[in-house]
Structure 1
């Protein structure tokens, strides 16, 4: 139950009626009462209109009037600036249209917070004068659109960034083009330019809203600058921060001012003692720009967010925000809700992901290669953001939470790494990121359903997201997004010339079981250009992407038009990308091994083929038998065939997928006309997999073939990774120990300085029948003189780690480590998280003996040597690692 508190107006009127000491006593008594009441003043689901925020005596950010806690969750978004602005021009999309479309999608995802570091380099001159140009106008336009959707805003006026990434910098006019971060805070001319700019930026009048930036109630706070880089002496930092705050306050601005404290911990004391009102942090738990999708259980990465300043009274008395966060290079849609839970446990009141991909660019994921989030192109991950916002607003601030895996089910939420599932199940809301068997908690009370895949409420054949919102008894609004399917790794090198996700507007089957709707409901298209009308049969109907009104028998929808409001959207609003202009495609990755003498299922994603097209598999034992096998299409976009055991004797399986349309064959890989069985089929492209016996080793890492599939490098500046050839000419991964003088931070014997991390869960699954028979790990490698100790770590799907030592000599040799040598222990959280104060190790409880069938990730950890000169480069070389 919510308790109401006295309004700030009545409170101030009452205080004005008393005087002196009596007034102070009343103030402190009432403040104490409000602090006792605070836990019951839960965050508002919808932020109030026209209300500013304030910091209460306990350091909590609250809304004026209601005094409820602020808890806002959302994204960064960059279309007005830098690469995003230029790329929209390249693809021929007006930035205003892009903003309209993307802000609508943000509203659908429940986003109520927006933050961006303003590219000052594009809207200022070298003296800090504000330039009334296209970038500033588009920021004004974006702010107006966000306000219309009741999305609150925090701006960081100074970015210090160039405007190029991922391209070279271009046409920069501002002070940041001549004063880099390391000099901007202690160079007098740079400081003066920043003071000048902050004053002008806060006094800028938005040409669309007519409001000054400093007075706009929807711009609830400012963060002075983005990720400043400071060093000793602290006095320079103290002086700079004071001058920036003074420049902002001199405009008449009275709302909170925040400052980054995570980026330069060496001078944190200066920030803690500064006159700012709060502190900002970021979180990149899996590092950034790994060059490919990270696989394996990522939930230990986000188990907690311990802040090193929690015991400092200067910190506790001020609110803290997360200006940027992301699960870099991870698509599994479980991370955002887990991060939101950990943020709330740490006491954060604001968190904004970096960065939401504009729809016009998301097909190629070029804006920031290591990030990928868009409702149309990453539907499951986008729904996980929607669920995370609910977590952030519903979990109480600073609420203690158990550690993983006990924290995967809490207050109506559930996370499952194994199922790629984030789920919210409350009486009125049922949201899920993939197919689930969970039943809604109270079906009759349901008002909102959002999902991908199927559930007891909706059985759907497509791959896009869908939204179901109850308009009235027996009347529902359905918003159906087009199919989205990955065709390339979105975290590898990207280009506007290379799509990573394909969009198809298919007619897909949908069966609904919604309270009060019935099984023969009528369906009417309501978005622009959608004239569909139909009646479901036994709850099922085939639909293309769009917005529909669903009506139970006997109900009417004549009172509802496309303009009728439903919350902060209109019933007929719809935004989706056009179909990808691509021919049919088949997406498939072959197994590393196929077991001999056992049938194997070959599965593929088939895109752009109609329901009437036939798909078949051509399977050939190298220079042996060839079979043509029909592929079963469970859905429009999936196909599979079983290769019989008699074709799978030890050797090499080569195969192709052939799509037949109107009597014409197209063969994949390569999309070539004809079939491999034609006498004149010349293309050499094919998929292949070795067929092995049960006694064959299972490769976990092969330096000659797996470079793009693993993570390797240094930790905290202590080392790095390279690939070299050994004396026999074989390629090996080299983990190198940095010279002592080059080490960026102190290390201990227990802290590894370089690592290899290799996911092998898919390889082991292909050998599941005989996986339990593996008895040892075999490593081919060498360790040079001076190199530290080496550990092997195997982690399971449940993130339980098992550790064994590895002893290698100075020459390439084969070492066998029994599976029984692995003992329950801790994994190292790699790639390394940022900021650097976050946990390095994680240990989960599990059985004493390694359950090898559940293993999925290998770590090889190199520790520093006992002694080392500044000239030495001790190393560990690894040619291969396998189960046998």
Structure 2
């Protein structure tokens, strides 16, 4: 499945190849515009609590990922797929380096490398961790290790045979059970004194392991004295080995005992951020940028906190593919004073086709190219924004320093004189085209026009000479955040041959192109600044420029010019992906679009549209790119009723019809399959559904808020399905940061696509109609409409005990704060985002509906307070 060219060597010699002063200058240039961390310097904490490099005394600012191939499901899955973990590590570390990563963190699965007494086992998992650390070192990537994970090794599978102390001492006992404490002391001493069999260094003396976090997300409760003693003993065990660098401890996971951690002898504190919760089961849509606008820390004024550095050990915009979240997260981290941030978790290339490791996370250069480029940009945000630098509240399109983040355009962008990075097609012009040294992106820009979906990179080697790396197309064929399986592909890879146009100063319109990666003998000359090529690595030069000095082995920063790692093309038949619109307006032509995987350029793609049992039309579909198709259904076919339609892909004399992928055409007399797409065609003035409990379970988010409620689906007395929001019992001891005035449960429904289909009528809707009932003395109900610029408008609504329609004029929606849903983690993060709304609701821009159930007043009822919601629509 995986193509790797060439294999990565264990040594990284500089290859001069007789290139003279020009190549010597080339070799001295970094692969990315960042101040590279010192190769051998350790870190220290200064008197002001800032983490700095010894020698230079510069502040540490490192950004990267977690990555888990030596352990657990990732290790087993590589073996199951016939890929050695070493091969997988080599592939992925190259891509991490390509993305400018300079930080790596992982919680070590102690359960796989210890016995019950905490003795370190010199086994395969430990050897692979050694191997990974060596590979990271060779790329200049620094490490923070968390030796104790407390996790089983199964997820998402059942746990396998485990030998370690965490298999018998769960988190809740690990810190106050004497045997567990002794096992952890023993393990920490041995782990820090473990000698890496590839580097020859003890873990405690390796300069590239810059710090340790003692344990992963501990679960503590009162009394604090037990926690204090445990932390002191863990620190003492580590210091007893002679280890002198910083020791960090989690301050976010157990806020009830935060005082014990703040007063402990650790040198710094760690945090995490999951702003959109976890495991929503589907891709989240809508403008979620307010969720990552800021990261306020409740201990920010405590002297014990201010005097110590802080790290983000894990972060992720879970269940979100939009390539806009990471840069604002990185900015918020810097505003909060963070000096390290590592995403959880980068998907191994071998598994990313299925996203099985953690279904709620999805990040891989080959399979999520735009999101990966956004991580590259976020790393530059983290390094360029000053620690504790503050920013204004999130605007419509956030622009700061050299960066721009635009939800409307699905775009993150970095634009400096030397660098130009973008996650989607952009019309932004490079700041100084003649000064450009590095370009990376997906889509097109004023310097690169490309129809493929894979990422590409341009690195200047010398004036008018560039290294070009083009990744294959990634085509999403299933929701990657739904339930996953190694037997199910969520993203396909296609090695398409496509035109690529370069407009770079000094390159000219007839530049030469020469393949560099293994097996790539391609050579050509551009015409009108355009070449047609396959994925790979190339030397691109102005005509007449000699490129013989540049070989596959020539070093460029942490990379070699000929290195190229990409998955093989996904085998399988043609697939067509499409979601039918909820409605189409009558009397107006409608454009229907589909994504296509596996179709050749010469294949015909046809839309077969039928007005129920009325007339049928066969409409050739346009192919804007090799992976997309679109067609316009004429207005005469769209009179009120039901549109039924299919997409047929025709090659030679063979036709395959979708949905279903059946042989033949729906126009054949004997075409028997009943699969089809259907869409109601509605007259002007028809209601527009924003939420229907009977149909929308897989496209909405619903749940309790910070443990105060939960949700269910129930049937009403008429047999209709309703979403039920419920209030949880009042806790005897409320958790830290519990807000008794906050909503107890919520519904969040994205309807932007539905409103867009009837955009011409947006100004005609006058009211929102809620069909609902309330019981058990439930609290007030609040409705919120949020625009694509994250401006919120809200109104209170009275809901009775019987299922009924409640009509609210849209004029009743007034500017309001937006409740940040799904709820972020940690729980101390803000509940609301300040209002940036104008005086009147701009309905045409609305895209999110929130329904909030407020806490009930005390009552004598034994029935649990609830709100049942059947539907919400615009009329």
TM class by shorter chain equals: over 0.9
What is the match of residue 790 of structure 2?
799
Partner residue of 2:757 out of 749, 756, 766: 766
8 Å CA contact 2:776, 2:861 repeated in 1:
no
Matches within 5 A, 1:568-587: 568-587=558-577
3-state SS, counterpart of residue 575 of structure 1: strand
**CA separation in 1, counterparts of 2:314 and 2:545?**
46
**CA separation in 2, counterparts of 1:243 and 1:739?**
38
Partner residue of 1:274 out of 264, 272, 286: 264
**CA separation in 2, counterparts of 1:571 and 1:550?**
12
8 Å CA contact 2:816, 2:837 repeated in 1:
no
**CA separation in 2, counterparts of 1:875 and 1:560?**
69
What is the match of residue 343 of structure 1?
333
**CA separation in 2, counterparts of 1:407 and 1:277?**
38
Matches within 5 A, 1:544-555: 544-555=534-545
Partner residue of 1:124 out of 110, 114, 126: 114
What is the match of residue 752 of structure 1?
743
8 Å CA contact 2:352, 2:364 repeated in 1:
yes
**CA separation in 1, counterparts of 2:729 and 2:184?**
40
Q: Give the CA deviation at 1:663.
A: 2.0
Matches within 5 A, 1:839-854: 839-854=830-845
Q: Give the CA deviation at 1:383.
A: 0.2
Partner residue of 1:812 out of 787, 799, 803: 803
Mark the CA change 1:44 to 1:270 in structure 2 (over 3 Å): closer, same or farther.
Answer: farther
What is the match of residue 323 of structure 1?
313
Alpha-carbon deviations, 1:776-833, whole Å to 9, x = none? 0001110114100000000000000000011111001011010000000011101100
What is the match of residue 527 of structure 1?
517
Partner residue of 1:66 out of 35, 38, 56: 56
8 Å CA contact 1:718, 1:743 repeated in 2:
no
Q: Give the CA deviation at 1:278.
A: 0.2
8 Å CA contact 2:743, 2:853 repeated in 1:
yes
Please tell me whether residue 418 in structure 1 is matched to residue 393 in structure 2: no
Q: Give the CA deviation at 1:643.
A: 0.5
**CA separation in 1, counterparts of 2:150 and 2:327?**
31
Alpha-carbon deviations, 1:488-528, whole Å to 9, x = none? 10001111111100100000110000121111011111100
Alpha-carbon deviations, 1:823-873, whole Å to 9, x = none? 000111011000000001012322111000000000000011111459431
Mark the CA change 1:854 to 1:235 in structure 2 (over 3 Å): closer, same or farther.
Answer: same
What is the match of residue 201 of structure 2?
211
Please tell me whether residue 478 in structure 1 is matched to residue 478 in structure 2: no
What is the match of residue 645 of structure 2?
655
3-state SS, counterpart of residue 333 of structure 2: helix
What is the match of residue 463 of structure 1?
453
**CA separation in 2, counterparts of 1:632 and 1:212?**
61
**CA separation in 2, counterparts of 1:636 and 1:780?**
44
Q: Give the CA deviation at 1:605.
A: 1.1
**CA separation in 2, counterparts of 1:406 and 1:759?**
19
Matches within 5 A, 1:11-410: 45-405=35-395, 408-410=398-400
Alpha-carbon deviations, 1:56-107, whole Å to 9, x = none? 0000000000000000000000000001101111111110000000000000
Alpha-carbon deviations, 1:322-381, whole Å to 9, x = none? 000000101100000000000000000000000000000000000001000000000000
**CA separation in 2, counterparts of 1:123 and 1:871?**
51
8 Å CA contact 2:776, 2:862 repeated in 1:
no
Mark the CA change 1:189 to 1:359 in structure 2 (over 3 Å): closer, same or farther.
Answer: same
Deviates more, 1:431-440 or 1:676-685: 676-685
**CA separation in 1, counterparts of 2:799 and 2:311?**
47
**CA separation in 2, counterparts of 1:639 and 1:90?**
36
8 Å CA contact 1:659, 1:665 repeated in 2:
yes
What is the match of residue 690 of structure 2?
700
Deviates more, 1:604-613 or 1:376-385: 604-613
Deviates more, 1:405-414 or 1:141-150: 405-414
Q: Give the CA deviation at 1:747.
A: 6.2
3-state SS, counterpart of residue 128 of structure 2: helix
**CA separation in 1, counterparts of 2:479 and 2:34?**
38
**CA separation in 2, counterparts of 1:569 and 1:606?**
34
Partner residue of 2:633 out of 643, 652, 655: 643
- Structure 1 residues without counterparts, runs of 5 or longer: 1-42
User: Number of aligned pairs?
Assistant: 842
Q: Give the CA deviation at 1:263.
A: 0.4
Alpha-carbon deviations, 1:587-622, whole Å to 9, x = none? 111100011011001111121111111111100000
**CA separation in 2, counterparts of 1:742 and 1:460?**
60
Partner residue of 1:835 out of 811, 826, 833: 826
Mark the CA change 1:870 to 1:72 in structure 2 (over 3 Å): closer, same or farther.
Answer: farther
What is the match of residue 28 of structure 1?
none
8 Å CA contact 2:118, 2:183 repeated in 1:
yes
3-state SS, counterpart of residue 623 of structure 2: coil
**CA separation in 2, counterparts of 1:803 and 1:73?**
38
**CA separation in 1, counterparts of 2:733 and 2:613?**
55
**CA separation in 1, counterparts of 2:824 and 2:868?**
25
8 Å CA contact 2:397, 2:407 repeated in 1:
no
Alpha-carbon deviations, 1:243-273, whole Å to 9, x = none? 0000000000000000001000111111111
Deviates more, 1:220-229 or 1:634-643: 634-643
Please tell me whether residue 435 in structure 1 is matched to residue 425 in structure 2: yes
**CA separation in 2, counterparts of 1:739 and 1:114?**
42
8 Å CA contact 1:615, 1:660 repeated in 2:
yes
Partner residue of 2:603 out of 609, 613, 621: 613
3-state SS, counterpart of residue 35 of structure 2: coil
Please tell me whether residue 685 in structure 1 is matched to residue 675 in structure 2: yes
Q: Give the CA deviation at 1:403.
A: 1.1
**CA separation in 1, counterparts of 2:341 and 2:859?**
43
Please tell me whether residue 776 in structure 1 is matched to residue 747 in structure 2: no
Alpha-carbon deviations, 1:645-690, whole Å to 9, x = none? 1110111000011111112111111111111111111111111100
Alpha-carbon deviations, 1:403-444, whole Å to 9, x = none? 101781111100000111000000000000000000000000
**CA separation in 1, counterparts of 2:576 and 2:34?**
47
**CA separation in 1, counterparts of 2:171 and 2:784?**
39
Matches within 5 A, 1:468-507: 468-507=458-497
